Every structure is written in structure tokens, then in C-alpha cells.
Amino acid sequence: MKQLKSKNILVTGGAGFIGSNLCEYLLDHGAIVTCLDNFSTGYKDNIKQFFDNPNFKLIEGDIRDYSDCLKSTKNIEFVLHQAALGSVPRSIKDPLTTNDVNISGFVNIVMASKQNKIKRFIYAASSSTYGDSKVLPKVEDNIGIPLSPYAITKYVNELYSNVFSKIYGIEVIGLRYFNVFGKKQNINGPYAAVIPKFIDKLLKHQSPVINGDGSYSRDFTHISNVLHMNMLAMNTKNKNALNCIYNTALGDRTTILELFSMIKNNLIKYDPDIKKINPIFGPVRSGDVPHSQASIDKAKKLLKYIPVTRIDEGIKKTVDWFFKKYKLQE
């Protein structure tokens, strides 16, 4: 991608799952990348491969510290803001820290970007903003009432970005991520996402727990589609595409049971004994919505977005990556 060559880009939360994939993609295409991370949920292991790259700079800092935000946005053209405390359960357990990072931190990094005159600010929004809305597919302008502290913080980000773009003239684009998965996703900890959690359990010959009866569905979105949307948002010359929110998804729906079967079938080739393992069904998780599926019509129209990876291909790539990593650790 020629448009990226020699561009100065800041990735906040660059040591996290999505952030580190963004750093890798940008560096591979000739960009000059600054990564800001405090390693509260990100890992140096995700970015250590970049340490010898002259186009990569790591700033160990916190978006809650305005001086760190000013330092990291200096001489930057584009900000890809991924830093946040994710996870609905974490936000229910600790809403104070979630609010502090996701709202105060967001305001800090936007205002620092304004002060340092960055060209465009692209940030990670969330499908959790749709809250209790039962309308499918989810359309950007039709949201419900938030169901968790995390969802509230991500919606507040959207409200702030809308106001800031009007008052200060900042070019802002928000990307509502839908259940992103892929390589480098955290497999450990109480807030691990469902796909790495299922892979980990099956590789250990343990039964994963499914919350509910497995009929809940999500628009699982491979990381390659998220990278693609960030690049389209950063490089668009369509003025009508700016200061907008976009669903960033596949535009499809997969139940948790279907997902389990996909992962299991992809792992059987490595370990036939996995065929015998079945899930355990537990209680429905607090704050969960039954179904989620994005309309991607707006992204198609204004950003010319077409998903690059379907769910089956994405699961295969992810399972293969995790299996290789798992074998290396044995």
C-alpha cells in the first residue's frame, strides 16, 4: 500500500491484540510507527519483533497522563486510537478504572492530537454501543440503551468525537468493532475472548464453557477486515466519509455452537482426540445481548469497504496460528 510509505502514525494500545496487528501491517507497508502502551493489557511479546526496526518507536506511557499523550502525538500525521480497557465483565467488576481509561484517556489523546495538529484521528468504537436494541442487522444510527459500563464509555467516545469534530475541525472516524478475532489475541486471563479461550481449552483436552445454550450469535470479524477498515478510514479522500461512525464487521452471524464446531473441526487435523470433547453449558453472562450482526452498507458506500476474510477462512488462519504458538511453548 503505497499511501502508507513514510507516513508518521501513532497506534495507541499498540502492544494489544488489534494494536500490535496494526503496527505490523503499517511497518510492513513502509510507515513510521509510534506505539503508545502502558502494558496493562498489552504485551511486549506482541511487539518485540519490531524493536530492531528503525521505523518503530515505543513510548511506554498512559493515555490518562496528558503529557504522555502530547509526547506521543508530536510530529504525527494519523492517530489510530486502540488503547482502552475492553471487556464487559471487567467493566462491571471495575467501572471506575474503565471510565477513567476509556473516557478521560480518550479526551486526553484527542486534545493532544488537536494541540499537535494531527491530520486525522481514527478510533476503536464498539458494537456494545447498540445495547438492548433488538434490530438486526445493526445500523449505525439506530442504537439502544447500553447494557454495561464498558458500553457507556464507548458511546461517550462517539459523543465526544462528534462534538470535537464540529468545534475544533478535527477529522475523526470511529470504527465500531464487532467481535474481532485473530493472531496475537490474548489466550489467558479471566477476560480472554471466546475464540482463543475455546482453542486453549480444546488443545488442553478440556471442555470449554458456553454461556447459555449456545444459540447466542455474533458477527465474528477476522483481524484482517479490521486492518482493512483502518486503512480505508485513514486514506479516504471522500469528505462525506469523515466525522462518521462505521460498523467494522463481516456483516454475517454465527452462533456460539457453530463457532465451537468450526474451531473443533479445524483442530482435529492436529489432534484427533479433540473430536471427543464437548462443551459445558453455563449461565448466561450478565450484560450480554442475545444476537449481534452488523449492516456494513454505510462502510461499503462511503469507504468502499468489502470484507477480505470470511469466518471459515478466518477461523482456519487463527487456529493454525495458535496451534503453532502452542507447540512452540511445549
CB atoms within 10 A of CB 102: 23
Burial class (CB in 10 A: 0-12, 13-18, 19+), 30: middle
- Of 112, 120, 4, which is closest to residue 59 (Cα–Cα)? 112
The residues near 1 (Cβ < 8 Å, ≥ 6 apart) are: 29, 231, 235
Task: Give the C-alpha separation, 32 to 26, whole Å.
Answer: 8
Q: Please give the grid coordinates belonging to residue 248.
A: 467494522
User: CA 47, CA 106: separation in Å to the nearest integer?
Assistant: 23
Beta bridge partners of 291: 217
Alpha carbon distance 226, 185 (integer Å): 14
Please give the Cα distance from 43 to 37 (Å, whole number).
9
Beta bridge partners of residue 218, listed in sequence order? 254
SS3 8: strand
Q: What amino acid positions are annotated as catalytic residues? A: 150
- Rounded to 10°, the helix 66-73/105-115 angle is 40
